[in-house]
Every structure is written in structure tokens, then in C-alpha cells.
Homo-oligomer: A and B are copies of this chain.
């Protein structure tokens, strides 16, 4: 049976990327060696690293003066690395959910943290909008896509202080204006590569200004100086990222990707909005294109387990909602084809006909 992979992360990758990665595991570039056993200092891998950085810059239209880094440790490591490098006295945060909270919690170890706004009281079903960013903050931190709640900041907001964005789950999903950000970071395991890789896009001029001692591995300058090769980088995920970016470019880049993501999201949100039994959980104006959350209407609540089973029997994988929201979550990342969304919609409508 064909599987439709709606996992929230690690999540679906393009089949071409998976097949090219498997081939490189068996034999990298016809070298007679696996990509798992080559030196990261070899010429062949240097080419991979350089092209990956170049495609990052080209596809995201990254201006001069920014560095692109590939690190280990996950986005969670950035929650402390960012304050180590940029936090002198005060940092401001927009509280849009669990991940924003984790970033905020770490920053509290370094100084004064200001929460400019929060949608916590509404279980993070919307993105707060009327807030004031303190102009004396070292930076303002946002989480652009909130995987658990299915909300997303779809515009590049203006900030009077350096804007820092966790884009783990929506990087490369739409064209964006990188110049509005001081630092963008994320785990690669949604739209880019397998787990084990973290990307950081940082405006160089922001660095070197804090007074504290920064451990070598936590200092962005270390990794900038050595082109992400200060120590052994996660070789395989970088290779897979390169294949993803090559494909993205061949398929029309971020403008085309956004078009496809809008089409997929509209297809599923329309099905939810026209359903008698399902209902979306996020405020319509803040709906994510990457994670679409929905539950059963109160009068059909007892059918949730039934639908989970029904969908699972039809090849739907990973649609159980996060425990703090319940119900269902379909993650519709770049690599998910619209055919999978259609299969889920068909499944929802078939179930509704049978049960409602």
C-alpha cells in the first residue's frame, strides 16, 4: 500500500533525494567509497559543502554580509547559542507556543527577557499582532511556524532591533526577505534534509559584540572562520540537503514552492471548512501552510479514534495531533505531493459519508 507521510518531523523528503542519498551511501560520485566513509576534508566533499552554501544563498536570495552555517545539535542548541553570541542585557520574545517558550527559557539564563505578547491563554491558536518591540532589546525572537498549533507568520515583519527567527519548519516554503532578519536558524529535518543538521544564517556584523566568554564550539565566529568545518560536520545530511536544494532550483525555486504549498493548504483547509464533522483549530488568518491542525466537532468527538484507524488503513502516516491540541495534524511540507493531500481529503470525505 502506498504510504502518505504526514509526519511533523523528521518528515517526508523528495523521493529523488532519498534515492540519490541511498546511491551515495553505496558509492559516492563513483569513488568506490560510501558517502558515510569519506573524509570531510576531501575535495569531493568540499564541492558538496560549497554548492550547498551557494544554493542556500541563491534560493533564499541572501544578501552580502550574511554567513550560512551547518552545525549539529539541533535547533534546541541554538536556543542557548543565540544568547551566548548576541545577548548582552535584554532580549524580547513573541510567545507563540512550546518552541518559542523553550527559546525564551534558555535566554533567561543570560539576562532580562521580555515577552512582548503571547497567545498562551488561547492555547496558541493565533499569532499575537499588536505588540511593541522594546528598542533597547539586543534582539527580538520569533518562531515563524508553530508545528504543534498550526499557526504561521507568513510575512517578514519589521523590527527595530535584530530579528531572530526559528524557521525550522517553514524555511524554503516561500520567497522571503532575508535582509529583514539578523539571524535565521532551524533544524533541517522538515523541508531540507534528514535529522542531524542545523542551519544558521547570520548577519556577520551582529557578532563579536558581547562581553562574555563564549566556548569555542558555541561561538558562531568559530564556524564562520572554518566554513562549518571547524570539526567534522554531519556529512550525510549535508549531502541530502544539497540534493534537496538542487531539486528545488530545478523545480522553479521558492516562488513555485509557495504556489504548490498554497494549493495543498487550500485543498485541505477547504475540506475541513466544508466538513460536517471536522473543524480547524487555528485562527483562519494565522493558518500554517506547513502543519494543518483539525479536530472532530464536539458532537463527533467520539469518532476520533475511528478516523485515526480508518485513515491509517488507507496509508495515512503521522496524522495524530500533538497531545496539547489533540485531534489531527497533517504536515504538508515542501516534499509532500498534492496527491497525498487529495488522498487524505478523500479519506476524510469517505469517512464523513459513512459516519455522519
Contact = CB atoms under 8 A, between A and B. Distances in A.
Interface in A78-93: 79-80
Q: How many A residues are at the interface, by size bracket?
A: 35 or more
A74 interface: yes
Nearest to A72: B72
Interface in A6-41: 7-13, 18-19, 21-23, 25-26, 31-40
A217 interface: yes
Nearest to A230: B76
Q: Is the interface of A mostly helix, strand, loop or mixed?
A: loop
A10 B25 contact: no
A21 B9 contact: no
Given A26-B22, A33-B5, A76-B216, A236 B194 contact: yes
Contacts of A1: 32
A36 B7 contact: no
Tell me the number of copies of this protein: 2
A105 interface: yes
Given A13-B36, A25-B22, A75 B231 contact: yes
A215 B80 contact: yes
Nearest to A12: B37
A61 interface: no
Contacts of A2: 32
A236 B196 contact: yes
Contact of A195 (B40, B194, B217): B40
Central interface residue in A8, A109, A195, A218, by most chain B CB within 10 Å: A195
Interface in A258-304: none
A79 B194 CA distance: 26
Given A72-B74, A72-B234, A234-B237, 6 more contacts: A2-B32, A3-B33, A18-B36, A40-B195, A73-B73, A80-B215
Interface of A: 1-3, 5, 7-13, 18-19, 21-23, 25-26, 31-40, 71-77, 79-80, 102, 105-106, 109, 187, 189, 194-198, 213, 215-218, 230-237, 240, 317-318
20 contacts: A2-B32, A9-B39, A9-B232, A10-B39, A13-B37, A18-B36, A22-B23, A33-B317, A73-B73, A73-B217, A74-B232, A75-B231, A76-B230, A79-B217, A80-B216, A80-B217, A109-B213, A195-B232, A196-B234, A196-B235
Task: Pick the 5 closest A-B CB pairs, nearest first.
Answer: A196-B234, A72-B72, A80-B215, A36-B194, A76-B231
